[in-house]
Structure 1
Amino acid sequence: MANSNTSLWRGQERSSWIRLRTLILLRWVAIIGQITAITVAQQTYHVQLELALCFLAIGVSVMGNLTAILLFPENKRLSEFENFLMVLFDLLQLSFLLYLTGGLNNPFALLLVGPVTISASVMSTRSTLIVGAVAIVLTTLLAQFHLPLRTDLGFVLDMPDILLFGNWAAMVIAIVFLGAYSHRVSSEVQSMSEALSATHMALAREQKLTDLGGVVAAAAHELGTPLATIKLASSELIEELDDRPDLKEDAALIREQADRCRDILRDMGRAGKDDLHLRQAPLSSVIHEAAEPHINRGKNVHFDEGPVGDGDVQQPSILRKPEIIHGLRNLIQNAVDFALGNVWVEAEWTSDRITICIIDDGRGFPAHMFGRIGDPFVRRRRSESDRRARPEYEGMGLGLFIAKTLLERSGAELKFANGTDPYQSLTHHPDRRGAIVQVVWPRNLVDAQHGDSPVPSGANQPFQI
């Protein structure tokens, strides 16, 4: 799943975002610019040009645009191969014009960088490398082979060899640097966009689950009295219908189904209620709720909660925000996935901050990945032991990115370390030597009673459907 999503955003599918109409418009701009440059050079500066061949090259571009307009709808989006052919055609057409007008002696040779930059921004690495290699080859050929620029007096406009070489070197460097820069930045933007989209989807899903649990719990509360009445009435009927076994059986069935409805509503309502009191929960309850899906996955999850220092600071009641629950759940899932047998969830609090540490007894974070922890789509080559230990893990880092983004949105600061690091200060237990993730909130940001956003008191509000 992760691999397929990545391919959607990087390269082949990304190129299909470009409309044919956009490239046609850009080509019209280039055609107008080429005609203007040739006209000014010939009429104003009296440069002798092969006008017939120049206008033939421009005419081919015009015909290509007109053909595309007639054959394809305006909203057509180009495939990877079609985009590649369009960019390659523009590169070859521009190179032919430069061949006719002095090669690298022509200052407009700088425009050869344009098709490479476009390719790097919207196409795959393979297509970009091909376009860049073609551009470098054409630049090298144009430095040696071209028709000279001549004035009306017959003088040839040529650069000194050292300047021509410098111009060639600058062109090659620009093609390589701008191509690599554009491709890298574009890939980063797209991967971040996809990761943020996944984050919003995860948060929306958690919010919907919370709201759904609230609706069900409220329904269970409201239906509790009618169901109790039905059960009481059916019990009385059972006692009074001893002489009517057929009706007594029906009354027993009614009581049984009333009990069943009560059990179903109770089970469905465990996720929470849309109740002012349940918009908050003790810190330990929120942690246990986040860890619940991963308790019975074959690893031992240990909880350790208490105030810091000698002070008797009461356990805080914090906001039950979906982003907090989902973020902690992702971190605990990550720890359970990589733990050998044990995961520790430590919660500490003071009067001004709340700290949660999630530690496992696995191998910890790879040392070379510390600078990129929390980035979306982090890849690294997996060993055979990694695949056996966690075959479903794709190593994309998206889950950790979602957790980090959601928790930081709630005001938390995250730190990452390994228990084997002698200089880490996140935990002081020598037996907890795996990966460590520390989440720290200023208490006023999540305290549901005395913080910046306390849960209001009063009557519960009705559901808005």
Structure 2
Amino acid sequence: MAESNQSLWGGPERSSWIRLRTLILLRWVAIFGQITAITVAQHSYHVQLEVTLCYLAIGVSVIGNLTASFLFPQNKRLTEFQNFLMVLFDLFQLAILLYLTGGLNNPFALLLLGPVTISANVMSTRSTLIVGAVAIALATLLAEFHLPLRTEIGLVLQIPDILLFGNWAAIIIAIVFIGAYSHRVSSEARSMSEALAATHMALAREQKLTDLGGVVAAAAHELGTPLATIKLASSELIEELDDRPELKEDAALIREQADRCRDILRDMGRAGKDDLHLRQAPLSTVVHEAAEPHIDRGKTVHFAEGPVLDGDVQQPSILRKPEIIHGLRNLIQNAVDFSRANVWVEAEWTSDKITVCIMDDGRGYPSHLIGRIGDPLMRRRRAETDQRARPEYEGMGLGLFIAKTLLERSGADLEFANGSDPYQHLSDKPDRRGAIVKVEWPRKRIDAQQGDTPVPSGRNQHIQV
């Protein structure tokens, strides 16, 4: 993760997503609940409490809230360390109130879970572990050290030791379980959110490039006729101006510049794909286009295409969706990064299915991660040996997640396996012992002529500016 996203406290700045105002409002709710509980216990049940000390502890929380409200703007967002201090403050303030009101004999001791849960959801692992350890220590101390609750006649309200131990054990288990559960779930949600954001950015970039190429292609197509007319007219002028060399030179310059404009537009037009006739392409063309950035990277990329079982089904013309091109490109990049020398890209089709299989001769996927391939950010750091072997490779997880998400968005199903696995069914060729990924679409989902969304036919429409 980038350094700008790291806190000085040692974790990512997750707590900066929470406004100070939100925590202040939650603390006001807690203060109101504490005052209500003390008032009801004293007046309705005539429990004898150290009221002055209790209200003093609540007053400290009130002063802290008022100070924060006046000193900071409502939209201030806390840093990791500031949020950590606020959660610890609430934890100690609650512990003091519990000490004054019977310790673990007080049923409200369960509220010790509150700060731990907040920390687990919005703070780093290190901060959560510290808050959880402090909560466990305070619960243990409160089990032994506290002021007793007394009735109006002086009777001590105290539960049996076995129930007191049960309360302590339940609170400790709840702190560990709920803290770990909340932290794990929130981490998964954050990882998925970040990965989806990266996926949307990649797709948006691919779509912009496609749209830009379409504008260039349309411009090249529309300007072709006037440029040809200029060239023809200038050629005729050159022939008629033999007796006027100064004008003949200008006419030759016009023809030369017209040729230059034609060459520029032709080169730019190679990237254009938004013409009605270019919104679709044969399957092999799309596969080659996806692999093009990785062909000259020192590995040999072998292509093969054909109908399954040597059938006579014609090669399909498929939609040139950015999701398909970018998704296949990521898979091919992963194969090139991890292969030793060769990558195989095979495209097959039947009357109802289209399949692209990408294989390499590398070490394959780690066997213990096969079931998790496609999860975002599942690999945190490469070993030093891998860094030396593949210095161009930044990490595995997010790229495969983007590819899997984009291709599934286009209607594909993906299967991952290792060629060295004797039980895999994706390939039976002994030289392809590395990673294998099979991408399969129902033909109707991406067929550009007979599918669910066929490309319209007819004349191209003028671009509306």
TM-score (norm 2): 0.97
Over aligned residues, Cα RMSD in angstroms? 1.6
CA distance in 2, matches of 1:347, 1:246: 60
> Structure 1 stretches of 5 or more lacking a match?
none
Q: Which residue of structure 1 aligns with residue 345 of structure 2?
A: 345
CA distance in 2, matches of 1:456, 1:327: 25
Contact map agreement 2:303 2:345 (CA 8 A) in 1: yes
SS at match of 1:54: helix
How far off its partner does 1:7 sit? 4.9
Contact map agreement 1:11 1:122 (CA 8 A) in 2: no
CA distance in 2, matches of 1:382, 1:63: 49
Q: Which residue of structure 1 aligns with residue 61 of structure 2?
A: 61
CA distance in 2, matches of 1:65, 1:56: 14
Contact map agreement 2:217 2:275 (CA 8 A) in 1: no
Contact map agreement 1:218 1:273 (CA 8 A) in 2: no
How far off its partner does 1:447 sit? 1.0
Q: Which residue of structure 2 aligns with residue 74 of structure 1?
A: 74
Query: Given residue 27 of structure 2, which amino acid in structure 1 is its aligned partner?
Result: R
Deviations 1:429-452 (A, max 9, x none): 111111101000011111111111
Q: Which residue of structure 2 aligns with residue 270 of structure 1?
A: 270
- 1:224-373 map, 5 Å: 224-373=224-373
Q: Which residue of structure 2 aligns with residue 112 of structure 1?
A: 112
SS at match of 1:234: helix
How far off its partner does 1:25 sit? 0.4
How far off its partner does 1:11 sit? 4.7
How far off its partner does 1:144 sit? 0.3
SS at match of 1:417: strand
Contact map agreement 1:224 1:262 (CA 8 A) in 2: yes
CA distance in 1, matches of 2:258, 2:428: 54
More displaced 10-residue stretch of structure 1: 253-262 or 121-130: 253-262
CA distance in 2, matches of 1:182, 1:11: 17
CA 1:396–1:99 in 2, change beyond 3 Å: closer, same or farther? farther
Query: Given residue 34 of structure 1, which amino acid in structure 2 is its aligned partner?
Result: Q
Q: Does 1:204 align with 2:204?
A: yes
Contact map agreement 1:113 1:175 (CA 8 A) in 2: yes
How far off its partner does 1:403 sit? 0.4
Contact map agreement 1:12 1:79 (CA 8 A) in 2: no
Contact map agreement 1:217 1:273 (CA 8 A) in 2: yes
How far off its partner does 1:4 sit? 4.9
Q: Which residue of structure 2 aligns with residue 195 of structure 1?
A: 195
Contact map agreement 1:313 1:350 (CA 8 A) in 2: yes
Query: Given residue 344 of structure 1, which amino acid in structure 2 is its aligned partner?
Result: W
SS at match of 2:437: strand
- Number of aligned positions between the proteins: 463
Q: Which residue of structure 2 aligns with residue 446 of structure 1?
A: 446
CA distance in 2, matches of 1:287, 1:4: 37
How far off its partner does 1:310 sit? 4.0
> Structure 2 stretches of 5 or more lacking a match?
none
Report % sequence identity. 83
Query: Given residue 246 of structure 1, which amino acid in structure 2 is its aligned partner?
Result: E
More displaced 10-residue stretch of structure 1: 356-365 or 389-398: 389-398
CA distance in 1, matches of 2:63, 2:210: 59
CA distance in 2, matches of 1:325, 1:246: 53
Deviations 1:286-306 (A, max 9, x none): 101111111111111110100
Q: Does 1:419 align with 2:409?
A: no
Query: Given residue 236 of structure 1, which amino acid in structure 2 is its aligned partner?
Result: E
Contact map agreement 1:354 1:443 (CA 8 A) in 2: yes
CA distance in 1, matches of 2:235, 2:390: 54
CA distance in 2, matches of 1:58, 1:364: 60
CA 1:5–1:376 in 2, change beyond 3 Å: closer, same or farther? farther
Contact map agreement 2:5 2:13 (CA 8 A) in 1: no
Contact map agreement 1:3 1:394 (CA 8 A) in 2: no
Q: Which residue of structure 2 aligns with residue 91 of structure 1?
A: 91
More displaced 10-residue stretch of structure 1: 231-240 or 295-304: 231-240
